[in-house]
Structure formats: structure tokens, C-alpha cells
Amino acid sequence: MADYKSIKGTTIQNFTADPDNIIEGQVWYDETAATLQYEIPNLTSAGAWRTGGNMNTARRSFGGGAGTATAALAICGTGDPPNYANVESYNGASWTEIADVNSANAGLASTGTQSSAIKFGGESPSATALAETWNGSSWTEVADLNTARGALCGAGADNTSALSIGGGLNTATDAYTETWNGSSWTEVADLNTGRGLAGGAGTQTSALCVVGYTSSPPGVANVESWNGSSWTEVADATANIGIGAAGADNTSVIKFNGGVSPQTNVTELWNGSSWSNTTSSNVTGYLVGGTGTTTNAIKFGGSTPPDGVKANTEEWVGAGAAVNAWATGGNMNTARNSTTAVGTQNASLCIAGFTPPYTAIVEQYDGTSWTEIADVNTAKATIASAGTTSAAIIFGGNTSPGTPTTQNELWNGSSWTEVGDLNTGRRYIGGTGISTAALGFGGYIDPSSSNSALNESWNGSAWTEVGDLNAARHDVGNAGVQTAALAFGGYGPSAPRDITESWNGSAWTETGDLGTARYGIAGDGTVSHALAFGGTGSAAITEDFNGASWSEVADLNTGRRYHAGAGSATSALAVGGNTAAPAMIANSEEWSSGKTIKTVDID
């Protein structure tokens, strides 16, 4: 039998405390506890829904969707009226309109992938047998269904392999099933119970038909499983109509939403033998679109009378996803707030700040401890920064109360040098980028006591004014680079803000708001994945941005405001700031995948 050394290449090591940089699968002996130990990642015990990007056109009655949670198609539908020929493509953050289908309709079915899909049946306004295939760039009319019908559902892998299930029109329903082989439809074994407005998921040879109506609302609880040749009734789900469904095969399906009056946001999971309730979606509605699997799915559109059709999207992440968490890092030598930081989680600088008084102190972090290095030339606070531990720039801020500065200093890894000034001095300014290509935005201007929307771009030698923020404010959080940045939160004109703006190199565009409005906030990451943490009231709140929306995740251990952030959205550092007391703090926290140390049971 193989021993640990032959598998891992080393013997079990002894430690008096948990080892650093634990390798997956590593086992060690804890001398203090006298036990063998190992580490496992913390995973979610239940799935959850988060907000995604809105479609360009609100609608319902898609009859399903095509693709995955991060590469999906929304096909046709209705706006009550009209029926649409629109098709939109989702990239995990936003929807883009692509080539229209040839025939607009609603109540259709669709299946496949983002580059190889088929849509069939529907109502326009009478039942239709039309089918069209998608090759990634255009739609082509292909052979009709044998039986025209709307309110049907479907399953399948691509535009050469699909299953058409049930359907009907108004109160009439049918049990027809047809298979598509890439060139023609063939009638196969009927459902045991004919129905319309059901949910379909799976493939041509392994599918599930979930609930629906047989003659009139509120619908049936009946579920049937397809094995490639026949349908078998399986365990019931919650009775409903107009649901969304997604899944890989007849053993793994998620159903969500549905109803007529009232609509529901109930979500259920199928494991091949039974249904279980799980986390409900955030927005109720029926006749929604959906695609994906039980681990990663999306729902989009739908209708909630009397509000009408919707454009919203929600993303499902199933149980077993990694849980990130904040862990305590090393304490700085000097506690401070209104400071700034550059670098990564394990290689960063915390620069200047307010102790009180204003300080010029700079400290460097190596992932374990902080060391004082060369001071900046001028003590200051409420500054912004960009760069790394070997090449950084700081800009703006104030050197005394109510006195904003235009001064900038450049770091070369050993010393600070004053360089070209900002055009407009501002305190509580936001900034991001690198030492030769930075962006400085927002802030507070004295003596006019006004919030600023100004934005300046640094090219390594001079600052140039570029497109202003849409909302003037100070104390914003920031992420990104000079040509693709985020500004979120802040204060102005007279209250904390939840607004988020995205910079594309020439202009700012408003995108998904923070869940909690706040200022004195820190952040890290990119325009497509960012982290916002802390803020007003010494909040511990942390939010994760997916390029379209924010979702609250694990809190900081110590709530703080006017702190600094460095790193990325998956490996961040929070340092300094002050608490609600208020008290200046020196501690740092590190954001990464949460882990749990387990003990080997050798009894």
C-alpha cells in the first residue's frame, strides 16, 4: 500500500502552529494539539441568486433559453404586445443584441448553445410549426415541426439535436414529443400527461418535463422523465405554470419562478429522485427565460402583473461554491486613517495618512509584517495612489485641514520624488492605475467646499483633464486601470451614495449600484470583477461586483472607514482606518478563499 511520502513526495512534517502556504492535500502533525491535521476549503451549503445585467428589451414568453449561465441567448418573446424577433447574447455580465430571427413569435421553445441553437414552435399569434437554427452569426429556417403548437418546452445540446415537448394554445394542451436530428423532426412517444407552459431541461436522450397546465391554471405538479424512448412519471414538484428550468440531464434540474396569480420566486432542485426547496430568486414573475445547470444558471425577463414585462437577469450559483473570507493580517507600526495603499495582498505599501497629525510615514508589507521605509517628502492625508511596491505615484490630498494640494510624488523603489502637479487640487480624491498611467477622479475642493466630478489622466510626466464623473462626489472607492476603471460609493452632494460608474478610457457610464450606500470606502479589482469593503459608520460590509451588479459577501472582522485597500477582487488587503469609537487602527485584513483546519480521526 502506498504511503504518504510516495504520494506527496515528502514525509509528514511537525509544526507547533498552523503552517503557512498550505498545499492542497497536505497533512501535518500539530505538536501543540498532538494531532494530525489538514485543511479544507469552506464551501456554500446552499445555492444563491444574485443580480445580473438587464436585457436591452424587456419581455416574457421566451419558452426557455439556450447556452450557459455565462454564454446565453434570449430568443424572441413578447412585450404584451408586440411579439419580438430580437435575440440577445449574454456574456456573464451584460446583454448584447445580435441578429434577429426571421419570424417573430412568443411562447416558443429553444435550446442549444450560444453558437449553435434551435428555436421552434410558438404563437404568432396562432400556433406555428416554424423552426430556425442559429450558427453563431445568423438564423436559417429549417424543416417545420410535424404539429404546430405554442406554449411548448424543449431540451437539447445544439442545432442538430433537440427535443420538442408538449405545448398547446390557450386552454388546449397536447402530449406530442418530437426529436430533431439536424434536418427533420420525428414524432416519438407522447408524454403521459399533455401540458403547456411547462419547463424543459436536459438533452434529446435524457430530459425532464416539469409541471405546467393541462387545461387551465393554476397548473399541475406532475413531472415526467425522458430516457430517449419513453416518458416516465417521477416525483411531483410544486404545481405551477410558466416556470423557468435548467439542467444537464434528467437527474439534475433546477426549476424557478412561475405562477399566474400570485407569481412566485420559489426555486426547487431535482436530484434524480426527489425535489427540494432551496434559496428563492430575488424577483417574482412567470413566463421567464432560463438556461444553465444546477450549479450555474440564469433566469431572465418574465412578467409580474400589474408591473408588466421585465428586463432583469438573475444568476444562480449552486451549493459547493468556494466561500471567501477575511483573515487577520499583520499590524502596521503606526495606526492611521485617510491613508492610501498600492500593490498586492502580499507585497504592498501603506502611504502617509492622518495619525494625528498628518504623517509622511510609509510602511511596506510582505504578507506577514510591516516595515517602515523611506517617508514621502510632504506629510499629507486623504490622498490617492497607483502602482506597486517598486513603482508608485501618490497625488492630491491635503497637508492641513481644508487645504487640498496639487502635489504628486513618485516612488522608484527606494525614494520619493516630487513630479508634475494635478491641475486641480482635491482632497478625498479617488485614483487607480500604475505609476506611469494613472487616473485621479472626484474629491473635495476648498475653499469652495464643493464636491468634484473632475477626472485627470497621468501619462508619466503630466496630468490632463479628461471626461468628468456623472455624479460629483468625494471619498469614493476605486478599482481598475487608467483606461478601464470603477468609481463607487462616495459622498455628495449631501448624503452617502450607492452609485457606481465605469470608465472606458473616454467617458463614465453608470452601472449597478452598491447594495449599501457609503463613503470612506476602499476597493480593489477590475471593471469586470471588483471588491468594495468598509465605509461610513465603520461598516464591515463587503460587496463583490461581477461587471454588472454588486452582491454582499463576508464581512470584515473589524468594521472601518477611511482605510486603504490593495490587491485584487480575489486576493485583497484592507489596512488602517478608524472604527466607530472612533479610534485609529493599525491592523490589516486579508481577503481570500476561506479555509478550515480539520483533525484526522485515527481512532
Q: Residues 60, 63, 68, CA angle at the centre, nearest 5°?
A: 100
94 with 222, same domain: the answer is yes
What integer pLDDT is reported at residue 70 of this predicted model?
92
Least confident of 8-17, 190-199, 587-596: 8-17
- Closest Cα to residue 345, out of 592, 18, 55, 601? 592
Q: Which of 262, 287, 317 is the last residue of a domain?
A: 317
33 with 114, same domain: the answer is no
27: containing domain = 4-40
Cell numbers given for 335:
495606526
- Closest Cα to residue 589, out of 345, 385, 408, 398? 345
Element (DSSP H or E) covering residue 7 = helix 4-8
CA distance 283 to 472: 32
Whether the predicted pLDDT of 170 surpasses 70: no
pLDDT digits (tens, 9 = 90+) for 504-532: 999 999 999 999 999 999 999 999 999 99
Residue 596 lies in a domain: no
Confidence of residue 40 (pLDDT cuts 50, 70, 90): confident
pLDDT digits (tens, 9 = 90+) for 229-264: 999 999 999 999 999 999 999 999 999 999 877 889
pLDDT digits (tens, 9 = 90+) for 530-569: 999 999 988 999 999 989 888 888 899 999 999 999 999 9
Query: Which whole number is the average pLDDT over 344-349?
Result: 97
Contacts of 295 (CB under 8 A, 6+ apart): 47, 317, 318, 320
pLDDT digits (tens, 9 = 90+) for 427-466: 999 999 999 999 999 999 988 889 999 999 999 999 999 9
What integer pLDDT is reported at residue 603 of this predicted model?
59
CA distance 415 to 373: 9
Instruction: Return phi, psi of residue 185, to 5°.
Output: -100, 140
* String of DSSP letters for 23-57: PTT-EEEETTTTEEEEEEE-B-SS-EEEE-PPPSS
Whether the predicted pLDDT of 1 surpasses 60: no
CA distance 413 to 116: 52
198 with 289, same domain: the answer is yes
Q: Which of 263, 283, 317 is the last residue of a domain?
A: 317
Residue 131 lies in a domain: yes
Task: Answer yes or no: are the C-beta atoms of 39 and 597 closer than 8 Å.
Answer: yes
Task: Answer yes or no: are the C-beta atoms of 163 and 180 closer than 8 Å.
Answer: yes
Whether the predicted pLDDT of 343 surpasses 60: yes
Spatial strand order in the sheet of 564-567: 324-328, 588-593, 572-575, 564-567
Whether the predicted pLDDT of 4 surpasses 80: no
What integer pLDDT is reported at residue 602 of this predicted model?
66
Mean pLDDT, all residues of the chain? 93
Residue 62 lies in a domain: yes
194 with 329, same domain: the answer is no
23 with 85, same domain: the answer is no
Whether the predicted pLDDT of 200 surpasses 70: yes
Maximum alpha-carbon separation in the chain: 82
What integer pLDDT is reported at residue 244 of this predicted model?
96
Place of cell 448624503: 495
Judging by beta carbons within 10 Å of its beta carbon (0-12, 13-18, 19+), is residue 262 exposed, middle or buried?
Answer: exposed
What integer pLDDT is reported at residue 321 of this predicted model?
78
- Report the domain count for the chain: 3
CA distance 554 to 556: 7
375 with 464, same domain: the answer is yes
CA distance 37 to 20: 14
313 with 436, same domain: the answer is no
Q: Which of 301, 317, 333 is the last residue of a domain?
A: 317
367 with 498, same domain: the answer is yes
229 with 333, same domain: the answer is no
CA distance 455 to 506: 10
27-30 vs 13-15, strand pairing mode: parallel
71 with 15, same domain: the answer is no
278 with 342, same domain: the answer is no
Judging by beta carbons within 10 Å of its beta carbon (0-12, 13-18, 19+), is residue 537 exposed, middle or buried?
Answer: middle
What integer pLDDT is reported at residue 103 of this predicted model?
95
Strand boundaries in 61-166, DSSP class E = 66-67, 72-75, 87-90, 95-98, 109-112, 117-120, 131-134, 139-142, 153-158, 161-165
What integer pLDDT is reported at residue 2 of this predicted model?
65
Q: Any bridge partners for residue 356, and if so which?
A: none
Tell me the Ramachandran region of residue 51: left when phi exceeds 0, alpha when psi lies from -120 to 50, beta otherwise: beta
313 with 369, same domain: the answer is no
Least confident of 133-142, 168-177, 205-214, 538-547: 168-177
Confidence of residue 217 (pLDDT cuts 50, 70, 90): low
Q: What is the CATH number of the domain that holds 270?
A: 2.120.10.80
What integer pLDDT is reported at residue 203 of this predicted model?
98
CA distance 374 to 379: 12
